Structure formats: structure tokens, C-alpha cells
Structure 1
Amino acid sequence: MKTSWRSASLVASAAAVLALTTACGQEGGTPSTGSQNVGATAAAGDYGVGGTGIGTGTGAGAGAEASPSAAPQNGTAGELNVSTNAELGNVLTDSAGLTLYRFDQDTAEPPKTNCDGDCATAWPPVPADDAEAGAGVDEALLGEVTRADGSKQLTIGGWPAYRYAKDTKAGDVTGQGVGGKWYALAPSGKKAKLSDLPGLSTRKDPTLGEIVVDKNGMTVYRFMKDEAWPKPVSNCNGACLEKWPAVAPVATNDTKDVQKKGLMSFTRSDGVKQMTVNCSPIYTFAGDKEAGDTNGQGVGGTWYAVAPDGKPVGAPEQD
């Protein structure tokens, strides 16, 4: 484990300033996208299988009846990544794409795990060894806690991290809400939450004013090197997309307070469909960890939050 992980304090991202362009104003609609069924109904006890209590012997926590997983539940985490779930938003995963969870009966300050025995069979602790921060994951939030057996368990923002034995493939989130105490981890270490926001809406930022946000409340940005006329063109590809994920298509009727003119999707050069506001391609920023963050504002003098009419907020006027 890297020594920089010993601290679970959040390292804030820095921002810069400069640039500008205008959008086309074409009109178009977008198809709605499908959603994934998220969450699980807890069986007896708090752990999604049988039994009561916490890991104090057979039948004491859960796990004896857990389905065997096709994925390496007990393996090292490898590179941690951020996966976007249709209903939970940004969810933390291991290198195999398996969802990581937190337990309400644990503590983060100081980190302490209360899942042992059968509980740890149903919810295998994620080893701290070899875990690394991938795109969108703040290395400063990674840490470790020593378990009762002396092993080191990965922590995110102080919270011990687990996998769920019934998640059998990348993207599964069957552990969400089990027993009312188990929740998928957001990249910040907080609980991934169901969103009640439209696909695109606006919020009042104290510094930037009215800006567009996605269904998870994350700030939406424009790239000043993109094109909006005569048709949308994204010039953010490859490594750029790892830092600035493209916003997927949103149905026109799944938006609120965003200008409808030019609200459309287009097909990128890589074949992926991307949303636009006033014909300008839109993105989120991997450096934004929580709803309300605007760490991408002004980055490189080319990235700016989006106003409800699609204009870049705070970009300097063009001559």
C-alpha cells in the first residue's frame, strides 16, 4: 500500500481560468435510455442471507447460503475505478468491475470493522494490498484498517470496503440496501444514492450562478475545442475522456429548466452517443467528487460549466 494512503483526508482539486465559443442552435430530440434495477430485499438478518447478529459463529451474520461468485471476491482490489450506474450514479469498483460496499455498523473515524465470521463470508473484506487509485478516484481517500485477524482491509474515506458474495459479474449491485445497512460506495466513501433529479436540470451555484447538472447533481461542462456547427463534434477522445466522461443521451422530457432548442444527442467518432446542450457536447469531470463540486471550471482555459442556454459560464468573450 502506498504511504500516501495513510491519511484519509480529502485533497481538493485546483482550477484555472480562460477561453470561449458559441453554439449552433439546431433543434432535435433524444431517445430515453434504459435503467438498471438496483437494490436487494434483505433476507433474515442484516446481511442478505440467513441468521442474526454479527459474525460470532455459524448462522450469526450471513454467508452460509451465499451463492458462489464467478468473480474473485477474495482477490486484491487492483486499480479502483468509477462505474456509472443508471440509478445509483457513480459507484466505486475494483479492477474486475465488482461493486464495493460499506456497512453502517462500521465506523470511519477512526476506521473500524464490525463484520467478521459469517458476515465476512457474505461480505468479503477488500484487501488493502496492491489497491491503486484509478481515474476519478482520489488517492488521498484510500487507507487501511487492521482487522481482528491481523489482515489489512482497504478503506475509502475511512470506511472499510467490502465486496458482496452474490455479485457475480461486473456491474452487479445486488448488495445495495441489504438489511438497510449495506450500501454501494461512492468514490468519496459516502453512500451511493438513488437520484430523484431529472436527466438534466439546473442548480444555483453561489459563484457561477445557474448551471446545468446531470441526474446525479454533478456539474456539466463544455470543452471549448469542440464544435457545435454545422453539427456537434467532440474533440475530447482517449485519455481526455477518462478525465471528462461524456454525458449519455437524455430524453427531452427528462430535463428541467434547460433550453430545449439544440437539446439533442449525436454520435461521436468512436460510435458512442453523447448529449448536447444547444448543440455543444457536454461532459462531467472526474475531479468532481460530490454533487455541487465545480473543480473542472476553467481547467486549462478550455473547460467551463454550462449555463441553461448552453453557453460556457465564465469564459472570456471572443474578439
Structure 2
Amino acid sequence: MSARLIVSASAAVLGLGLLGACTSGATGTPAPATTSPNPVVIQKQAASSQGTVKLTAAVVGDLGQVLTEQNGMTLYRFDKDTGNPSKSTCDGACATTWPPLLATGSVDVQGVDADLVSTVTRSDGTQQVTVAGWPVYRYAKDTQAGQANGQGVGGTWAAVTPTGAKAAAPAPVNDTEIRTTTIPGLDTVLTDQNGMTLYLFTKDSKKPSKSTCDGACATTWPPLLAVGEVRINGVDPKLVGKVTRADGSEQVTVGGWPMYRYSKDTAPGQANGHAVGGTWFEVEPAGCKVAEGKKPTAAGTGGY
């Protein structure tokens, strides 16, 4: 059964101003907590004071309930660490990107079992807070409370739950969707239903629509296939269509251009495919390529 196009109300309204000329050219199991040689005081819902680290269970985005620190910043665990025995392996440049949560005084817990909270001695002698044995960290690219930009980075980082487990990523959406997002340095670009950046290939053609990326090319640049309902949000519906590929599958097009993802983008908000080979570019809501002279900033590139 072929996919149908479903347009959200917001897309229909937003689309009125988008049609026109282009602006540019074509869960892990918790391990037992490990007590440090000099354990800090763990307090249950104590009054916070200067020097107190605070662990709080909070709902963050689509991740459900995860741990945050005293400033509301999401906390993470690293697959390359160990929880039993507790060991932190993130030092140097890694610890700059992923600052460890250090216990400089007491640790106040709210919504967390105090028996799961302890500390581990890092290589520099500082005490890092652990939950169910796992050292916990912040993420430098989370700039305000409620963000979880570190979820899934490198396939090794995940927000940590109140039990010390890894937060599960939201279940993939079954239907294909065209969305928009803002990537620093690139402005507004298109993404798929999972927030992954979309690209066009200048060796394809848009009139008529034709995809030329097959075989190994399609492994590196997976085509955005029309699966289930093709939902549209933030793009003029008149710009969205489909083209039949050589294998008979239907690929979504915007402005006539076949849409692709990039295999080296491992998390939403990344744009590692920008200007690769001088032929691959992100896509603006008007269905045009992002100008080659633009460049994604650090916030729009891959993590550590």
C-alpha cells in the first residue's frame, strides 16, 4: 500500500509563506552502589546549602523520569565506565565535554533511593557522584535546564534514571514525517520524524525527480522512504512528493529533490553531512539546499 500525505494544521498555515524561490542554489540493569573510601553525607530532601550537590528525579523531554543536578541540568552515564566496581574512564578532553558531577560537600537526594548514591575517586583524586555504582556527568552542550542533548551521543552516553539505569530513547515513529529544526550556523533545516537532519544530493535531479544514490551510496546516505503516512509539519504541502527508486521503493521528495539522511549523524541536531564532496547539503523549508558557505557550529556537530 502506498503512503499517504498527512498535513498538520500548523503545516498548512506555515506553508503559505514558504512556497517560492530558494534562498540558495540547487536500558541497562542497575549495579550495586560502591562506597568510596571517604563517603560524603547523603541527605534525604535536606535543605540545600552552598557546596551541596542535589540529585532530583525529573521528567525531561520524551525520556521520562531521569536525574538532574542542583541547577536542573540532566545527568548522564557512560557505557565505557563500570558500575561494579565503580570506575570513571572519562578524563581530559572527555571530561571537558562531559563534566563529572563532583561531591564537594553533602549530596541531597530527592526522588532517589539514598542507598544507591555514593562516590568514586577519580584519577585526579576528586570524588565523583555515582548512582547504582555508575559515575554521573553533565553535558557541556546542554545550556539550560530541561535539555538532554547528550542522549545517545556516540552510542555510549545516556541520561541516567533514578535507579541508575540508562534512559530509553523514545520509540521510533512508524510514519514518515518531514519536520523543521534550527541548527546553529545553518538556520532552519528539514529533519525526519526522529529529528535526524535531511539532505539533498546535487547529482540527483528535481525536475523530473530522480534519485541516483544506490548501492554503497545509499548505505552512507539512507534514502527517506515513504512509510505509512507521510506527515508534514512546517513545510508547504505542495512541495512534498514521492519518487520511485530503482528498487521500486518510494522516496520522499521536497521541492522535487529526493531526501536522504547521513549515516554519520548519530543524534538529532547533528549536520556532519554538510557540503560533503561538494554535493550533499541540508535542505531549507523551501526545498532548496543550504548555501555551501554556511557552516554548522559546534552545537550542530557530532559529540565526543
TM-score band by shorter chain is: 0.3 to 0.5
Larger Rg: 2
TM-score under structure 2 normalisation?
Answer: 0.44
TM-score under structure 1 normalisation?
Answer: 0.42
Richer in helix (by share): 2
